Amino acid sequence: MTVNVGVIGVGMIGQDHIRRLTHVLSGARVAAVTDADMERAQTVADGLPGAKLHKTGQDLIEDPDVDAVVVASWGPTHEEFVLACIAAGKQVFCEKPLATTREACERILDAEVAAGRRMVMVGFMRRYDDAYRTMKEELAAGTIGAPLMYYSGHRNPSVPPSVTTEGVLVDTCVHDIDVSRWLLDSEVVSTQVFSPRRAGQAADVLQDPLLLMLIMANDVIVNVEAAVNVAYGYDIRGEVLGETGTIELAESSKIIVKREGRYSGRVPADWRERFLRAYDTEFQEWIDAVAAGRSTGPSSWDGYAATLVCDAATEAYRTGAPAPVTMREKPDLYMVGASGDGHAPTGTD
């Protein structure tokens, strides 16, 4: 079966996902696109033989020729489109964030629970990265005993001057928050934000770097370092300290060159390069699940949890004090094994 995918939002990541759906992966084709910028949508549609152009996301979702939907528009628009997909009974891949407020995420949880089946996958692609997956397997195997602390380094070469400190917590640290919950199989119960000496090249309004502490329900403490103007490249780091050893992400360069008494490797330019394979795997698993009539991957619950932690981190940054994370009870639908989620445990109670 070929899954006919409709894509809402054809900006930077929307176009990258269209490229992989069209040229890299199997079992899917892009059948329809839309964007608030109709000129951009038209240009993208012109490059996709047979793809329809819709005026709005709602029109695209209602199109009977669209089997499943990718939402890659701006964060505040996600709730509307995800709810419409659930109402239409269509599987939806939603780029992070699931939605931008607690209330919006809860409306999505309520709708999915009322529908009685999972239809939403959130784009937390790190869970599909080989290195992170191996790290999780080693942790589960008990190779280094119980995890005690986790360091998550997230460095971007630069960000546009419009990016705010809150934006870094919500848009960048959200990945560290999700991967921490997933790796450590535990929810975040409170968070605190520290402001180190500012980088001279950061815009005046921006606190860069940031240090975010996450206290997990299982007492592990996570130390997230977000630095978004490091200039030298896109550098993602991770190290778990366990009772009897450590596990860390290796350097991602494919080769190391040694010459004239020095050695060097490539630092990825951006998230597209660093997580290229992870995005491919993420989408292939989603397509395969949609074709098989089941759900997979990070759920609405995972999107909800991440948004709550981002909210708490924003509050902690504002006050300088620790901020608690309060969650509603986890519905049965999101318990491991309850929804056909064959891998990548999301049972982060």
Would you give the end-to-end CA distance of the chain in angstroms?
Answer: 36
Indicate which single residue of 3, 5, 57, 90 sits in contact with ligand NAD (rule: CB under 6 A). Answer: 57
82 binds ligand NAD, rule: CB under 6 A: no
Beta-carbon contacts of residue 137 (< 8 Å; ≥ 6 apart) = none
Indicate which single residue of 18, 125, 214, 316 sits in contact with ligand NAD (rule: CB under 6 A). Answer: 125
74 binds ligand NAD, rule: CB under 6 A: yes
Closest CB to ligand ISE among residues 190, 207: 207
**CA 225 – CA 199 distance, rounded (Å):** 13
- The residue nearest ligand ISE at its CB is 172
**CA 54 – CA 39 distance, rounded (Å):** 12
Stated as kind and residue range, the H or E segment containing 120 is strand 120-122
Indicate which single residue of 14, 242, 298, 303 sits in contact with ligand NAD (rule: CB under 6 A). Answer: 14
93 binds ligand NAD, rule: CB under 6 A: no
* Region for residue 179 given its phi and psi (left: phi exceeds 0; alpha: psi -120 to 50; beta: otherwise): alpha
> How many residues interact with ligand NAD (rule CB under 6 A)?
24
**CA 232 – CA 88 distance, rounded (Å):** 45
To the nearest 10°, the Cα dihedral for 123, 126, 127, 128? 90
Are the C-beta atoms of residues 58 and 77 closer than 8 Å to each other?
no
Residue 73 binding: pick among ligand NAD, ligand ISE, none (C-beta 5-8 Å cut-off by kind): ligand NAD
**CA 335 – CA 345 distance, rounded (Å):** 9
- Reported as half-sphere exposure (CB side, CA atoms, 13 A), residue 87 has a value of 10
DSSP 21: I
Closest CB to ligand NAD among residues 52, 189: 52
Indicate which single residue of 52, 54, 90, 96 sits in contact with ligand NAD (rule: CB under 6 A). Answer: 96
* Residues present in the chain in total: 349
Closest separation in Å from C-beta 174 to ligand ISE: 7
Strands 235-242 and 188-194: unpaired
Closest CB to ligand ISE among residues 61, 305: 305
34 binds ligand NAD, rule: CB under 6 A: yes
Indicate which single residue of 152, 156, 165, 190 sits in contact with ligand ISE (rule: CB under 6 A). Answer: 156
175 binds ligand ISE, rule: CB under 6 A: yes
DSSP 20: I
Residue 75 binding: pick among ligand ISE, ligand NAD, none (C-beta 5-8 Å cut-off by kind): ligand NAD
- Residue recorded with tokens 């939806």: 92
DSSP reduced 3-state for 262 = strand
- Residue recorded with tokens 């049972």: 347
Question: With CB under 6 A as the contact rule, which of the stretches 104-112, 170-178, 205-213, 337-345 interacts with ligand ISE?
Answer: 170-178
Interaction with ligand ISE in 313-342: which residues (CB under 6 A)? none
Indicate which single residue of 63, 79, 171, 311 sits in contact with ligand ISE (rule: CB under 6 A). Answer: 171
Indicate which single residue of 128, 271, 301, 317 sits in contact with ligand ISE (rule: CB under 6 A). Answer: 271
Are the C-beta atoms of residues 311 and 102 closer than 8 Å to each other?
yes
Indicate which single residue of 4, 172, 207, 299 sits in contact with ligand ISE (rule: CB under 6 A). Answer: 172
DSSP 170: I
Indicate which single residue of 20, 22, 29, 40 sits in contact with ligand NAD (rule: CB under 6 A). Answer: 40
Beta-carbon contacts of residue 19 (< 8 Å; ≥ 6 apart) = none
DSSP string for residues in 82-95: HHHHHHHT-EEEEP
Indicate which single residue of 73, 91, 156, 192 sits in contact with ligand NAD (rule: CB under 6 A). Answer: 73
Question: With CB under 6 A as the contact rule, which of the stretches 69-77, 99-107, 239-247, 290-298 interacts with ligand NAD?
Answer: 69-77
List of residues contacting ligand ISE (CB under 6 A): 156, 171-172, 175, 271
List of residues contacting ligand NAD (CB under 6 A): 8-14, 34-37, 40, 57, 72-75, 77, 95-96, 123, 125, 171, 271
